[in-house]
Structure 1
Amino acid sequence: MIQSFYHSIIFLFKTDTIVDIALEKASETNASLKIKLTPEDYKPEVDKKLKDYGRKVAMKGFRPGKVPASLIQKMYGKSILVDEINNLLSRTVSSYIRDNKLQVVGDPIPNREQADAIDWDNQSEFEFKYDLGLASDFEVYFDQLPAVPNYQIEAGDKELNETIENLQNQFHGHEHAEEAAEGDMLYGELTQERAEGEPFSTKTALPLNKVAEDALPQFIGKKKGDTLTFDIQAAFPDEKDRALATGVKGEEAAELQGEFTFTVEDITRNKPGELNQEFFDKVLGAGNVENEEQFRTKVQEIIGGNYEREANTLLRFTIEKTLLENIPITLPDEFLKQWLLEVNEGKFTPEQVEEQYDDFTRSVKLQLIKNKIAEQADIKVDFEEVMGVTRQMVREQFGFYGDDSQMSETIDRIARNYLMDDKNNGQNYTNMFNRVYDDKVIEYAKTQLDIQPQTVTLEEFKELAAANNNR
């Protein structure tokens, strides 16, 4: 917030084009840039562009390159002047912010009224003003930050046995049953007598896991040869399930109603996969393990790897939370709220900006802190690092394995095409660059912070993760 008193600190700055620019600070987080332009600043470039137009423009009644300069000036002079001054302002403001290392948040906001009052036909000297939002000064001292817990999940026999049981259910077999139970599949003939037209009759399978709960008792306990009658919409209220059960198309299934008769011819039940070689090959790939002991060891390794990824995700979140909570940064709240409204051009109301403002400022502060860490540690990201991460993404998405030259060339081509895609104005490259940059900053922070390993059970870890996600 702007303080009740006004104090001004002015910095004069000259660019290579001798542009006068002054920074006036109203508070720690609010400032303005005032820029004065004289003909010496913009005229040489304007004159150069007018001459270029004179050489290139084609005009009836004049030979190429012979259009009078006065006519070129009359027709194109104002638009060239406006474009050049806009370009000059953009370069000047960007250079000043960069060279003076101002921690600007949001974009500089030009004074619209001042700009609209310019008389482009008669003025030769111009003044412009840009409002700036600044973040307060801060430093990152890792030795003054509290310890960060690194939770390591203890995967015991309970987790291993549950995972194997889930795998057995996932890679299940089938067995025939004498009597229908929940989850079974009933095979037989489904019929319906109709007052008009041909009666409905089809051989089908009724999945009992799709039957509505209140209709399920009609099916439970039925045996081969039994016949039951049920209301089709009551038993299968979901149209997609009704289509699956009757074998008709979706739009036809939506019209089905009334009582249907089903005669049970067979009952099948999912049978958990047996711990044998066929099962091991289905889960882990052919020949990767040869017995149950090796299978359990491999599954334990996979569980450990999954838990490690989850733990690393939480560690990253905890590091960011520690940085945010212990490095105070003040932002120009009113400026940022106004900027958010302007930059989104009516897409959000003031109420919506207010509602999302805390999340926005969290990301702004976190990025400022990461930038400061990167500056302190001289962290940089080069193209090959971005390519490396993109290659790995391509491998994972397309399932490319192996390192032969042809495979590597294919991966390189896909990665480069993705990064250089012009359809989204380079956003893919920006996203991957930011990902590498962010990872390097966090990895550096891990080497500087006091990271304390803590062993927890899976249930304890889930509670910790949920608690952090809700903050």
Structure 2
Amino acid sequence: MEITLDKHSANQASIKIKLTEADYQPKVDAKLKDYAKKANIRGFRPGKAPVSMVKNMYGTSVLVEEINTILGESLNKYLKEQTFRVLGDPLPVESTEENIDWKTQKEFDFEYKIGFIENFELPLDEKIKATSYSIKVDDKLVNETIENLKSQYGNSTNPEKAEAGDHIYGDLNLVDGDFSKTLSLPLDKVTKKFAGKFIGIGKDEVVEFEGKEVKKGEWTEAFGLEEEELEHTKGSFTFTVKNINRTTEAELNQEFFDKIFGPDQVASEEEFVQKVRETLQSSYDRESKVFTEEELKKVLVEKANLDLPEDFLKEWLLKANEGKVSEEDVEKEFPQYAQQLTWSLISNELAKANEIKAEHEEVIEKTKEMIREQFASSGLGSQMESSMDLFVDNYLKGEEGQNYMNMLTSVQNEKVLNFVKEKIKLTEKEITIDDFKELLEK
């Protein structure tokens, strides 16, 4: 057997494997003899058919099977011995296999394309700079949350006459045209002047207005028009009222407290406000942590500046997902895939260089945390704890064990990021929720 490597560029190469008869024939002969011992061929007693007959019947398929096994084992062994890291899987050059004559050929040449990166290091020091964000839960955010909760858990009524803040359910019609739509119009999402047209009206009454009286954004946010419907927003309109919906805010009493946080969790308005603040802070702490870590990954990816074999990886992704994705899909999603792949390579390198390992016990604990978060709003927390081990076991065995591997990777990534934070220059920055939303939109 002869294996040769030809590097075409800094990150792509071809591997050629030449097989002679001595490489495969002994294994083929042994397999055919084994077949002969077990074969049940008409005219012969079981296991008594001549090997020559068995060879005529099964020789080609056994030859193909054994050669493929030899190729797979030899290629994997050869690649493990290299200093570079192979990305994806080797892709066979199809033209070399198409020209094979399995009946008469004695020597075989196979060729594979591979993509790789050379070994790299990523020194961690204070020259690498990143920001750790923390969201400040201020009084404004707490008050807005409580107002939303009071509205969400309030009582709904259908009054005779409309007032400011009501939702007007009815039929919108373009006077000179065939456009119409039944919708619920929230009066608090239009201008005060326009909302005034609906104040004091009742069921079956008709409101007339011009399209220009409605601000452009209100057609989408208040009237709920789709993009393709916006072309019908010019001209005169009528709105026929079919119903008036009003929500009376819930009172801050024990019944309300129990609905939000469960029985006997808070016993006063002061405790309720504090609980809301703590819940918000806990939630935003998780969000800011995730955001900080994603931004840190971007910094490390940029710092590592790995030269990925893009052309090879795109071809591999297309063939590995044959029939499921198109070339356009691969092109569109590749930047995100490349980012994730580069981060995975960095994480594995840092873990290896600094002996960072994800332990089984850590996987179990992280899975428990995830399950607790999922059940947090259900009110089943105490009941769930008694069956936690069963939940964890079922989850980690799911997807044929892939859930366990994903959680193992997640734990390692988290430990690597914590290690990185200790080594680089990490600047703490407190921001408001509005600042955070702006960051997310960038």
Same structural fold, with TM-score higher than 0.5 when normalized by the shorter chain: yes
Give yes or no for the alignment of 1:377 onto 2:354: yes
Give yes or no for the alignment of 1:282 onto 2:243: no
In structure 1, the residue matched to 2:250 is: 273
Matches within 5 A, 1:111-190: 111-143=93-125, 145-173=127-155, 179-181=161-163, 184=166
In structure 2, the residue matched to 1:331 is: 308
**Which amino acid in 1 is paired with 2:303?**
N
Q: Shift of the alpha carbon at 1:179?
A: 3.2
Shift of the 313–176 alpha-carbon distance from structure 1 to 2, 3 Å rule, reads same
Give yes or no for the alignment of 1:221 onto 2:203: no
Shift of the 416–319 alpha-carbon distance from structure 1 to 2, 3 Å rule, reads closer
Partner deviation per Cα, 1:49-71 (whole Å, 9 max, x = no partner): 21221122211111111011001
In structure 2, the residue matched to 1:247 is: none
Shift of the 414–427 alpha-carbon distance from structure 1 to 2, 3 Å rule, reads closer
Number of aligned residue pairs: give it: 400
Give yes or no for the alignment of 1:96 onto 2:71: no
**Which amino acid in 1 is paired with 2:39?**
V
Aligned-residue Cα RMSD (Å) equals 3.9
Give yes or no for the alignment of 1:408 onto 2:385: no
SS at match of 1:329: coil
Shift of the 67–379 alpha-carbon distance from structure 1 to 2, 3 Å rule, reads farther
**Which amino acid in 2 is paired with 1:374?**
A
**Which amino acid in 2 is paired with 1:57?**
A
Shift of the 153–84 alpha-carbon distance from structure 1 to 2, 3 Å rule, reads same
5+ residue gaps, structure 2:
170-182, 209-222, 224-238
Normalized against structure 2, the TM-score is what? 0.77
* Alpha-carbon distance in structure 2 between the residues aligned to 1:49 and 1:383: 42
* Alpha-carbon distance in structure 2 between the residues aligned to 1:409 and 1:457: 39
Q: Shift of the alpha carbon at 1:309?
A: 1.1
Q: Shift of the alpha carbon at 1:333?
A: 3.1
Q: Shift of the alpha carbon at 1:33?
A: 1.7
Mean CA deviation greater in 383-392 or 320-329: 383-392
SS at match of 1:131: strand
**Which amino acid in 1 is paired with 2:93?**
N
* Alpha-carbon distance in structure 1 between the residues aligned to 2:396 and 2:81: 33
In structure 2, the residue matched to 1:46 is: 28
* Alpha-carbon distance in structure 1 between the residues aligned to 2:402 and 2:14: 31
**Which amino acid in 1 is paired with 2:276?**
V
In structure 2, the residue matched to 1:452 is: 427
* Alpha-carbon distance in structure 2 between the residues aligned to 1:339 and 1:456: 42
* Alpha-carbon distance in structure 2 between the residues aligned to 1:156 and 1:338: 50
5+ residue gaps, structure 1:
1-18, 188-205, 232-240, 242-258, 421-425
* 1:319 aligned to which of 283, 296, 301: 296
Give yes or no for the alignment of 1:56 onto 2:38: yes
In structure 2, the residue matched to 1:298 is: 275
**Which amino acid in 1 is paired with 2:265?**
N
**Which amino acid in 2 is paired with 1:330?**
D
In structure 2, the residue matched to 1:463 is: 438
Q: Shift of the alpha carbon at 1:186?
A: 9.0
Q: Shift of the alpha carbon at 1:130?
A: 1.5
Q: Shift of the alpha carbon at 1:148?
A: 1.2
Asked if the contact 1:46/1:81 (under 8 Å) is kept, the reply is yes
Normalized against structure 1, the TM-score is what? 0.72
